[in-house]
């Protein structure tokens, strides 16, 4: 009898955990919270990997808006890099203009190690004037040894009305327009303001999830 104890069985004779056969691919077995005061009565459940395997990174900076077009981060040789966003993109619409590959590469970017999806953006912004501030999280996909200009792709665009430096405005985005990011993409913010001269500071985090 002792020879048949679970610890003595080889892999081929061990059963899969509860619910394995009907669990969808790319899921992880865990235990939910339950309701008891002891916190021990939860049930086993299979959850998507993407709800557990996540990374959070910070996006922080400031800009003096020109009132019409998007601006992106200054070159890392700038004394205020990586915080200053003062380079004119030339358009108020993401994708309507291109970026020189060397210009965008020389700024501070987030680069994921694997394909992932943006799921949440949360934080704060404040501006010196009372007008609309719009932030666009963007990505470009460089190609090794290719000097062609890069067209940024919009991940998500969100806005808040600033109303003075002492009043922070909340950023809380849980529905993302196009959250998929490829491994090696350069991910970065661009900012535009409805009023010229609005000095905007922002600080938020972005959560990305992984399926693999």
pLDDT by residue, tens only, the chain of 212 residues = 556 676 677 777 777 777 878 888 878 888 888 788 887 888 888 877 767 788 999 999 999 999 999 999 999 999 999 999 999 999 999 999 999 999 999 999 999 999 999 999 999 999 999 999 999 999 999 999 999 999 999 999 999 999 999 999 999 999 999 999 999 999 999 999 999 999 999 999 999 998 77
Spatial CB neighbours of 208, under 8 Å, sequence gap ≥ 6? 54, 55, 56, 57, 112, 116, 117, 118, 119, 179, 181
Structure-token pair, residue 187:
């991910």
pLDDT value, residue 77: 96
Residues of the chain with CATH 2.60.120: 54-209
**What global pTM score does this model have?**
0.84
- The torsion angles phi and psi of 49, rounded to 5 degrees, stand at -55, -35
pLDDT value, residue 3: 63
Question: Domain 54-209: which topology?
Answer: Jelly Rolls (2.60.120)
Tell me, what DSSP letter sits at residue 64?
A: E
pLDDT value, residue 2: 59
Stated length of the chain: 212
Round to whole Å and give the CA distance between 56 and 38. 30
Asked if residues 119 and 163 have their Cβ atoms less than 8 Å apart, the reply is no
pLDDT digit string (tens) for 4-55? 676 677 777 777 777 878 888 878 888 888 788 887 888 888 877 767 788 9
pLDDT value, residue 180: 97
């Amino acid at each position: 009898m002792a020879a048949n104890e679970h610890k003595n069985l080889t892999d081929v004779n061990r059963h899969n955990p509860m619910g394995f056969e009907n669990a969808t691919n790319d899921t992880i077995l865990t235990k939910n919270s339950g309701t008891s005061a002891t916190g021990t009565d939860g049930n086993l459940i299979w959850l998507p990997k993407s709800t557990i395997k996540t990374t959070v990174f910070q996006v922080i900076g400031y800009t003096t808006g020109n009132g019409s077009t998007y601006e992106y981060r200054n070159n890392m040789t700038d004394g205020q890099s990586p915080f200053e966003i003062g380079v004119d993109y030339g358009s108020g619409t993401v994708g309507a203009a291109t970026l020189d590959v060397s210009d965008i590469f020389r700024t501070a970017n987030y680069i994921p190690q694997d394909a992932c999806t943006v799921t949440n953006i949360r934080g704060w912004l404040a501006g010196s004037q009372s007008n609309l501030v719009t932030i666009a999280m963007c990505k470009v996909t460089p190609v090794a040894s290719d000097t062609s200009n890069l067209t940024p792709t919009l991940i998500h665009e969100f806005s808040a009305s600033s109303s003075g430096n002492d009043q922070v405005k909340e950023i809380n985005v849980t529905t993302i327009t196009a959250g998929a990011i490829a491994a090696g993409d350069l991910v970065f913010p661009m900012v535009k303001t409805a009023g010229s001269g609005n000095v905007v500071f922002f600080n938020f985090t972005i959560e990305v999830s992984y399926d693999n």
